[in-house]
A and B are shown apart, each in its own frame.
Chain A
Amino acid sequence: MVTAVEIPTGNTPALTPARRGFWRNLWRVLRRKPTRVAGAVIVALFVVMGVVGPFLYPANLPTDPGNAYAGPSGSHLLGTDFQGTDVLALLVTGSRYVLVAAVIAAACTVVVGTGIGLYAGYRRGGPDSVLMRITDFIITIPGLPLLLVLSTLWKYSNPLTMGLVLGVTGWGSVARAVRSQTLSLRERGFIEAARGLGLSTAHVVRKELLPNVAPYVAMNLLISVTVYIYLEVGLFFLGVLPFNENNWGVMISQAVQNGVTQTGQGLAYLLSPLVAILLLTLGIVLLVDAMDEVFNPRLRED
């Protein structure tokens, strides 16, 4: 190349990984650090547990009052609960509610948050300020107390309703992030350029905006899964929700109500769901780290 003046090439967005290359990229980035592979494996194991797990056990788990609060042993790997039920069985069967609700909530968050954020950022002006007021409102209202108050009306009896309520109250920060990302994309001028070329709004949103916003949304999706897991498990831990199927929060709540934290008997029973939550969180955090690198190549170490 023989030119006197360098043509600035920095205006193309650095994001937008070719979508076909995404999985290959992810795999490459995962392999770079063993911790990331561990994260992916942990998350995969939990997904398998949630999908297959409940089929491995009878609908009503056997109880054995003579063997309550037992410690870990060969026949009960994680010990038993206050009724002598196997804790591992409880943990596996209880994972489905937790995971399904969290995934539904996260999906809800992404759809509502992305939709509102994109629309507000794209339209600007009046719709933007109205939507952002609502978003601020959703963000400011303390979420957990709201969920508790709502529990007097909603029964959260199945993971679907739980997920929907969580999602409807939790989309605020995603909407805000997507909006500011959209605005900054506008400022970089390439949306105006696309419109100048006579491309339709639908095209601009689908082909220009979404691919650039997607990375943020994807990472938020993963992070919000962890937040929703805390919230739902926490709600059951508080012991004010009625329940008709087992889940991790119910386990914790019953362990506390049966005095594990006072007597120290059956610690394995209390700690198992706690450790499960921590493990799953750890797995997701490690995955997010990998995603971060796929989407922000500039952070890559040389």
Chain B
Amino acid sequence: MRNLLVRLAGHLVRALVMIWVVATFTFFLIRLMPGDPVAAQYEKLVQQGMSPDAARNATRLTYGFLPTGSGWDQYVHYLWRLLHFDFGRSTQTLGVNASAEVLTGAKWTIGLVLAGILISFALGTVLGVIAAIRRSSGVGDALTITGSLFHAIPQFVMALVLITVFTVIWPVFPTDGNVDILVDPGFNGPYVASLVSHASLPALAYALSMFGSYLLTMRSSVISVLGDDFVLAAELRGLTRTMRLRYIARNALLPLFTIFALTIGFMFGGAVFIEKAFNYPGMGITLINSIGHRDYSTMNATFLLITAAVIVANIVADLLYTAIDPRVRRGGEAVA
């Protein structure tokens, strides 16, 4: 338990430092932009006929820092507002806070990413175990090749192929957005059905582009565990087959947690591709649109949130790993 807390504390410190570095980086990025967007915004407002004072005020509200004044003051002011989860205002949808804009997208992204992770993890680990146990047969070879192939297919290619097959050639799924706008929102049959049918293909795209790496990792992990002495020992102790499989599976799952952490980052990155391909209104689309419209507040908020999500996911994966492996949880040497 103490180990766990120490670990958690270390993670939190590192996470905060990381987010601080990223926030600083985007601050300088926005300020260094050719034709400083803050100044540009200010000038644009003036050109539109706003008085200089009002324009300065509006710009400050939008970006979270003054268009004028010393760099240090601007930086401190910016960090201070970040601490209050204030990223400024969106310039695409006027009057809406950037954080609200991002959070609207976030729930759709998180839903899809979670669905994708669950499907691909279940599929990948089960098939990985089979591929390991049947590794000298045709079944094992076929599974391994399938795994490598799907592992290698980029997400947007997967998404576009799914779209081509299931909405153009054989139109069984809707192609656009997250829900049919003609259906009444709320917890009713048609609405839920519409949600599910819109989410199916994107979730499938996530799952298909992810399960390969789980399969390959699980396969090699199971193979290495099968060679461990305790597996033979369990057989010689007369443990049932089911019990032995459970021993093997639990030990083989450990290395997957490391991969898991890496894939979560990959998933959130891939959200941009998959949401773009399916025009699914998640954080990825928010990011693309904010860049397209040069809406820096929203871009900044989205990027920081995606980074934070990846960091948090990494921490969760590591803590789970700690919880499941007694060698980490209960360090310490032999009892006397």
B-contacting residues of A (Cβ < 8 Å)? 133, 136-137, 139-146, 148-153, 226, 230, 233-234, 237-240, 252, 256, 261-264, 267, 270-271, 274, 277-278, 281-282, 285
Across-interface contacts of A150 in B (CB, < 8 A)? 29
Q: Determine whether B105 belongs to the interface, using a CB cutoff of 8 Å to chain A.
A: no
Q: Is the CB of B29 within 8 A of A149?
A: yes
Across-interface contacts of A237 in B (CB, < 8 A)? 156, 273, 276
Q: In whole angstroms, what is the CA distance A42 to B22 when docked?
A: 40
Across-interface contacts of A281 in B (CB, < 8 A)? 152-154
Q: In whole angstroms, what is the CA distance A243 to B18 when docked?
A: 33
Q: Is the CB of A267 within 8 A of B164?
A: yes
Q: In whole angstroms, what is the CA distance A34 to B314 when docked?
A: 41
Q: How large is the interface on B (under 10, 10 to 19, 20 to 34, 35 or more residues)?
A: 35 or more
Q: In whole angstroms, what is the CA distance A145 to B265 when docked?
A: 10
Across-interface contacts of B314 in A (CB, < 8 A)? 140
Q: Looking across the interface, which residue of chain A has its beta carbon closest to that of B293?
A: A240
Q: Is the CB of A145 within 8 A of B164?
A: no
Q: In whole angstroms, what is the CA distance A234 to B268 when docked?
A: 14
20 contacts between A and B (CB under 8 A): A137-B21, A140-B311, A141-B307, A145-B268, A145-B269, A145-B302, A145-B303, A153-B34, A226-B152, A230-B155, A238-B272, A238-B288, A256-B160, A261-B168, A262-B175, A264-B168, A264-B169, A267-B168, A277-B154, A281-B153
Q: Determine whether B281 belongs to the interface, using a CB cutoff of 8 Å to chain A.
A: no
Q: In whole angstroms, what is the CA distance A278 to B156 when docked?
A: 12
Q: Is the CB of B306 within 8 A of A142?
A: yes
Other-chain residue from B22, B164, B272, B299 in contact with A141 (beta carbon distance below 8 A): B22
Beyond A144-B272, A148-B272, A149-B303, whether A234 also contacts B291 by CB under 8 A is no
Q: Determine whether B32 belongs to the interface, using a CB cutoff of 8 Å to chain A.
A: yes
Q: Is the CB of B268 within 8 A of A142?
A: yes
Considering only residues 147-190 of chain B, those with a C-beta below 8 Å from chain A are: 148-149, 152-157, 160-161, 163-164, 167-169, 175
Q: Is the CB of B156 within 8 A of A234?
A: yes
Q: Looking across the interface, which residue of chain A has its beta carbon closest to that of B26?
A: A149
Q: Is the CB of B154 within 8 A of A238?
A: no
Q: Is the CB of A140 within 8 A of B291?
A: no
Q: Is the CB of B292 within 8 A of A278?
A: no
Q: Determine whether B294 belongs to the interface, using a CB cutoff of 8 Å to chain A.
A: yes
Q: In whole angstroms, what is the CA distance A256 to B168 when docked?
A: 13
Across-interface contacts of B21 in A (CB, < 8 A)? 137
B326 to chain A, nearest CB (A): 24
Given contacts A142-B268, A153-B34, A274-B161, 11 further A-B contacts (CB under 8 A): A143-B269, A148-B272, A148-B291, A153-B29, A153-B32, A230-B155, A233-B154, A234-B155, A237-B156, A261-B160, A277-B157
Across-interface contacts of B299 in A (CB, < 8 A)? 149, 152
Q: In whole angstroms, what is the CA distance A256 to B288 when docked?
A: 16
Across-interface contacts of B156 in A (CB, < 8 A)? 230, 233-234, 237, 252
B109 to chain A, nearest CB (A): 12
